[in-house]
Every structure is written in structure tokens, then in C-alpha cells.
Amino acid sequence: MSVNQKVAIVTGSSSGIGLDASIGLARNGFLTYATMRNLDKSPIVKAAAEKEKLPIKIVQMDVTDDRSVSKAIQTIMSETSRIDVLVNNAGFGLIGAFEDLSIDEIKILYETNLFGLIRVTQAVLPVMRRQKSGTIVNVSSGAGLFGYPGGSAYVSTKFAVEGLTESISYELGPFGIKVVLVEPGFIKTNFVNAMAVAKKAQDPNSPYSQMMQRIQANSNEMAKNGSSVEVVSKAILEAVTSKSPNLRYLAGKDVETWAANKKTMSDTEFHDMIQNLTH
């Protein structure tokens, strides 16, 4: 580690956005800690680091576990004594009509997508505050801007991330800490295929069964036409290298269109547009 080298932590780095963001940050000089719950998934990261001789270190961190988070941050601090960037990326999707979702399924989703983000952020804040500098990037989603059928649980976690981020930006600004939201649309990763499907939503006798089949088919089609993962990584890199980053970065042509429509359309018009997209 060189004297002026900045340190970045990325959660959920074993694949998709987290993997690409870790590589992108390392290529741009950050000593990058690629963290993941399951180290069995680390060979892809290791291979990328070795191929390009990138400054990437792999650390086990389960964002849903207090001790795991604390241990990971302690390990990083013992090696570097600083944290300049945190990218909260760990998360997954859950699909199912609201009535078909169990409370346990919703809790598991929140534990990763929201409380995991809170847990890691609170662990690094004392470090950044002492430094009087740092940038926190919370990977939200277009789903943090509007709802859609079958997405009530996932959407609500992202709405929570949006509100949390916006609120703490006021609190942390005076300490030199910048807080940013990156909002991807459909991205060509394994995210859609890996999405959890609520148990009751898989029952063909569910009153929402036909609707959910249509939604899943449409989601798969939109994912095929999604943006490349580099679109998100570039937004993250822009945010963490800017002296005055934006609060929000849209990542993908689809989410740019939806966000523009959300601003210009009436609620009824926007509702009808989403309804048509998912039917």
C-alpha cells in the first residue's frame, strides 16, 4: 500500500455489479477490499486481480452478521488504518405478490438489503468521521424510485435505502463525508435469474399466479435487453472520484426513461405505463 493510496470496500463482490465495481476501483488505483459472504465464490475475483496485477484483497463479510462485519472492518483497519470509500452493493431480489409473501421471507430480504447496509455503514462511519473524509455509495435501484407489481418487498427495501441515504447526507456532510445513490435499471448480470421467488408465489393455485408468470417473463425479456454492468461501475467510479458528487446517479437508459416519465407524467399516467409494461 502506497502512502497516498485510497482504500475502498465493496460488499457483495463475488459477482455482478460488486465484482465489476471492485475491479474498476482497483484499476483506478484504489486498494480495494472485495468482501463477500461465501469465500468459495472468490476465485473469479482472485483470477481477475492476478491477471491484471490489481490491488484487490478479499475479505469474508456477511452483512447480516454483526460479528462478521465488525471482524472484517477490524481486519481492514489493522492493514490500512483508513477507509475512503464504501460501496454498499450486497443485496438480492424477491418476487411475489404481496399477499403471497411470508413475513419471514420479507425479513430475510430486509436483513440483507437494508439492515446489512446499515450495519456496514455504521461500522465505517467513525473511521471516516475521524478522517474528515470519505464517500459512501449505496447501490439502490430504479425500484427505489417507483413501484411495480410483484416487487413490493424488494421495492420497499430500496425506497428505504433512498430515504436513509438522503437523510444521512445532511448529517455527514459537515464531517466531510459524501453520500451517494446509484440507481441501476435492468443490468445484464445474474440478478434476475438469482432472484428469490416467494414460496406461495410458486403455487399455481395462487390467485396471482397468471400475473406473476407474465411479470417474470417480461422481467427476463427486459433483463436480456439491459445495460452492461460497466454502466453501473462507471457511475460508482465517477461518484467516488468527484469532488462534488451528485446525490443520485441513474445507471441505464431504461431507468433514465422511467425516471423522466415519473417526473413528467401524472400518477395515473405513470401507473398505466407500468401496468402495460407488466401485462
Looking at the chain, the number of H-run helices and the number of E-run strands are 10, 9
Q: Which of 154, 170, 208, 249 is catalytic?
A: 154
Asked whether the beta carbons of 60 and 14 are under 8 A apart, the reply is: no
Helix (H) or strand (E) holding 168: helix 152-172
Residues in the chain: 279
- Let me know if 249 is a catalytic residue: no
203 vs 207: CA distance, rounded Å: 9
SS3 12: coil
* E strands present in 62-127: 85-88, 94-95
Q: Which residue has the cell 454492468?
A: 229
- At 60, list the grid cell: 469474508
Would you name the residues annotated as active-site residues? 154
